[in-house]
Amino acid sequence: MNDQTSQNRVLIIGAGGVGNVVAKKCAMNPDVFGHITLASRTVSKCDDIAADIQQNWNRTIDTAAVDADDVPQLAKLIEQVKPDLVINVALPYQDLHIMDACLATGVDYMDTANYEPPDVAHFEYSHQWAYHDRFKNAGLTALLGCGFDPGVTNIFTAYANKHLFDRMDTVDIVDCNGGDHGKAFATNFNPEINIREITQRGRYFENGDWQSTDPLTVHQTFDFPNVGPKEMYLLYHEEMESLVKHFPSVKRMRFWMTFGQEYLTHLRVLQNVGMTRIDPVNYNGQEIVPLQFLKAVLPDPGSLGENYTGLTCIGTVIEGEKDGQFARQFIYNNCDHAECWREVQAQAVSYTTGVPTMIGAMMMLQKKWHGSNMPDKGGVFNVEQFDPDPFMEQLNIHGLPWEVTAWPESIA
């Protein structure tokens, strides 16, 4: 470990699987992250992570309890910690509350997933993009969607646009978890967010318009490097919204994710019996949301890592033109569940989100990615609006090495 400790101060909000990775990877880089505070509604989770960091990396981090739905409470904590950056790895429902608290206290902000209203299974960037002028006028920066997808997939696309193509025509984002956790049914990140995401209608962008499909009805087999052939399903994912805005040459953009048949069978049964509903139902005189109850009885994603085996493969297949010739390139990362567990006691889905979050925070603190370098001198930005090169370099250093290959087949 580098003995030089930075003066930078960060506040991490959220102590789930991703928060665990972010806190540990920040602790492993004291030359950038000098003072770390980890906060959550359940402070015992923060304390457990802090104890691991003390034992394994001989660093002390502070912990705190905070309700991320309570803006005055958030603002009070931010004023106490005095961070240079707030890293939001809480729930997407809480994005706007944390952004409000950052504006109230004059602190930069970043997150990994865009805002989602609690009562509607729908997410779009309009809610957060609407904050641009407020952050710009305050001279502050908000960085949105700096996980893997969204996040690294956006940066892969920006890198391809800068180095591999003169014009990009189609982008297919492909996400495969080829691992095995041994559970009959479990989600790899927050069950409530995961199930809301995959049960809504699919959407993709083509020729200037958004097209929609019934949930999980469009699918095909794709041969993922080092994983093998897997069936992947068309979903809507938020990075497409910002990518088609910032890369207008793209005529078609889609997002695909793999699911096993056992997972889909369980999901279909849960839907059929009403357990994926997000509206309240009355049970013994008390209102409960079925999906929130289901979340409580499903395995905690953070508990899956110890016996997880296999690889993930996430990347972008892009077609377009380079030097007057047709080109098709696949930029991707493979991540090993078992190696993630050995390093930071996490499974690969948490790791592939948490590592880019730490790198994005590094980019902001070092002012390599910051609104002060942009024409407006502040505001709300998606990751692909910044130079991809320093971020891509750090991926190779901090555990998510990437590959570029000329891909032999088009995705139908």
Q: How is the chain split among helix, strand and coil, in percent rounded to 5?
A: 40, 25, 35
Q: What is the predicted pLDDT for the residue at 261? A: 74
Residues 190 and 144 in one domain: no
Residues 247 and 216 in one domain: yes
Residues 191 and 309 in one domain: yes
Residue 208 covered by a domain: yes
Residues 136 and 240 in one domain: no
Residues composing the chain: 412
Residues 293 and 332 in one domain: yes
The tens digit of pLDDT for each residue in 18-55 reads 999 999 999 999 999 999 999 999 999 999 999 999 99
Residues 157 and 217 in one domain: yes
Residue 1 covered by a domain: no
Mean of pLDDT values over 206-226: 95
Residue 243 covered by a domain: yes
Residue 14 covered by a domain: yes
Q: What is the predicted pLDDT for the residue at 1? A: 44
Q: Maximum distance among all alpha carbons in the chain?
A: 68
Residue 361 covered by a domain: yes
pLDDT category of residue 273 using cuts at 50, 70 and 90: confident
138 pLDDT more than 60: yes
Contact between 378 and 138 under an 8 Å Cβ cutoff? The reply is yes
Residues 171 and 310 in one domain: yes
Residue 17 covered by a domain: yes
* CATH code: domain of residue 58: 3.40.50.720
Domain that holds residue 215: 153-344+399-406
Q: Measure CA of the first residue to CA of the last residue in the chain; give whole Å.
A: 47
Residue 393 covered by a domain: yes
Weakest-pLDDT range from 182-186, 326-330, 382-386? 182-186
C-alpha R_g of the chain: 20
Mean of pLDDT values over 172-195: 74
Q: What is the predicted pLDDT for the residue at 2? A: 47
Residues 320 and 195 in one domain: yes
Residues 111 and 51 in one domain: yes
* CATH code: domain of residue 331: 3.30.360.10
Reported for 74-81, long-range contacts at CB under 8 A and 24+ positions apart, including other chains, are 74/13, 74/98, 74/100, 74/101, 75/101, 75/104, 75/105, 77/11, 77/39, 78/11, 78/102, 78/105, 78/107, 79/105, 81/9, 81/11, 81/37
Report percent pLDDT > 70 for the chain: 93
Mean pLDDT of the chain: 92
Contact between 153 and 254 under an 8 Å Cβ cutoff? The reply is no
Beta strands of 214-259 (E only): which ranges?
219-224, 228-235, 252-258
Mean of pLDDT values over 145-173: 98
The tens digit of pLDDT for each residue in 252-268 reads 999 999 987 767 767 77
Residues 159 and 301 in one domain: yes
Residue 4 covered by a domain: no
Residues 266 and 306 in one domain: yes
Residues 139 and 27 in one domain: yes
Q: What is the predicted pLDDT for the residue at 263? A: 72
| Tally of domains in the chain | 2
Mean of pLDDT values over 372-376: 92
Could you tell me the sign of the dihedral formed by the alpha carbons of 52, 57, 61, 67, in that order? negative
